[in-house]
Amino acid sequence: MSPAGEAPATTSSHPPRWEVADVFRLFGENYCRVHPLPWHHRRVMHDIEVCRTASLGGHLEQCDSCGYQRPAYNSCRNRHCPKCGSLEKARWLDQQQAELLPVGYFHLVFTLPHELNPLILVNKKVLLHLLFQAVSQTLLDFGRTHLGGQLGFLAVLHTWDQTLGPHFHLHCLVPAGALSFDHSCWMAARDNFLFHVTALSRVFRGKFLEGLQQLLADDCLLFPAQTASLAKRESFSSLIQSLRKKDWNVYAKKPFSSPEKVLDYLGRYTHRVAISNHRIRSVANGQVTFTYRDRKNGNTLKSISLEAEEFIRRFLLHVLPNGFMRIRHFGFLANRWKKQNLSRCRQLLGVSAPLAHPDPKSVLELMREVAAVDLSRCPRCQHGTLVMTQILPTVAVSLLVPRMDSS
């Protein structure tokens, strides 16, 4: 069974009629008045509201063929914004393309039991870090004991399911092999098999629960109202025991057949936000209606309607703590030694390093090559080129919070 919330995002060449920003503009002020929010949550709401509006300024574009004009407003660049991320994703994918090895790749998904959701939501930073730690230690241990070397892999955090509920899981992209500890050889894995998921699940469960108990012993966990009962040692121990008896979900997808397939995966998963604007079908009568994939019913496309207040609440569940890294590299791909290790892996695999780009790619080049979007083509005549004719200044507007730098 595939993990929840992993249906391909709905895409369209046409702008969405409704956006998350519209929900915030219509209902955000009242939500903030009723529900005290941390500052970084209010900042996310503010940034999404003003993204690609006159509030952030921009420039005027004109087609050099038909004379069509349009304003192009600046983006907020907040990582939680549904309208941002395309350029950042394109830059990141361009870098990753140069780091792929000519081997098979495996896609593993490690999911935390939903019984932990209330505790995670009030301890996001420490428990999501523990998730990365437990998964990375599990995979590195298996690489050492089963392949006799060090794995290198990428891990991407997702926190949502298709209906915006909490669903904490890591997607891991793992090359089919390991670098020997003395860097003398490449220890290849089988083409269609990496590790037994049942064994991975048990070790992952043990490492996470061990870390959870240590956090409790070190007094690093908070127990506000909804989790207050867990502050009692008996209740916490009961939770641990029930989780030990539960089978934890580790899912292994079919291995990728080529590096191009890996890049396709990366583009779909790494810079995704909780919900895309194209999934929102209507905002009316105080309700937000959006589409989702029902994985329990053949991945059928369905619609769900939520009160606007509930939609905002669910969206904000997935705002990460400031500075929290949701994409991390481990093993021989850890950032400190990545360049040297990749060079050695290529030597052992008998391939040369990809040619470095002499100059950084422009925004237009990146979007055209990586995202298959030509930002310079005129949308009206389809053959002219849009050129900048005028700088548009910022326009002051009254919103949820004062303007500030985005995350």
pLDDT of residue 59: 95
226-242: average pLDDT: 94
The SS3 of residue 347 is helix
The single-letter code of the amino acid at 119 is L
pLDDT of residue 365: 66
Model confidence over 42-69: pLDDT tens digits? 999 999 999 999 999 999 999 999 999 9
291-302: average pLDDT: 91
Burial of 273 (0-12, 13-18, 19+ CB in 10 A): buried
d(CA 379, CA 203): 53
Q: Are the C-beta atoms of residues 148 and 171 closer than 8 Å to each other?
A: no
Question: What is the pLDDT confidence band of residue 405, given thresholds at 50, 70 and 90?
Answer: very low
The SS3 of residue 205 is helix
Q: Are the C-beta atoms of residues 43 and 407 closer than 8 Å to each other?
A: yes
Q: Where are the domains of the chain?
A: 25-98+364-407, 103-274+320-349, 285-317
pLDDT of residue 22: 96
d(CA 170, CA 366): 27
Query: In the predicted model, what is the mean pLDDT of the chain?
Result: 88
pLDDT of residue 282: 96
| CA-based nearest residue to 32, from 369, 405, 386, 308 | 308
386-397: average pLDDT: 90
Q: Are the C-beta atoms of residues 38 and 316 closer than 8 Å to each other?
A: no
pLDDT greater than 60 at residue 10: no
Single pTM value for the model: 0.89
Polymer length of the chain: 407
User: Long-range pairs for 295-303 at CB < 8 Å and ≥24 separation?
Assistant: 295/1, 295/2, 295/4, 295/5, 295/6, 295/7, 295/162, 299/7
d(CA 33, CA 207): 41
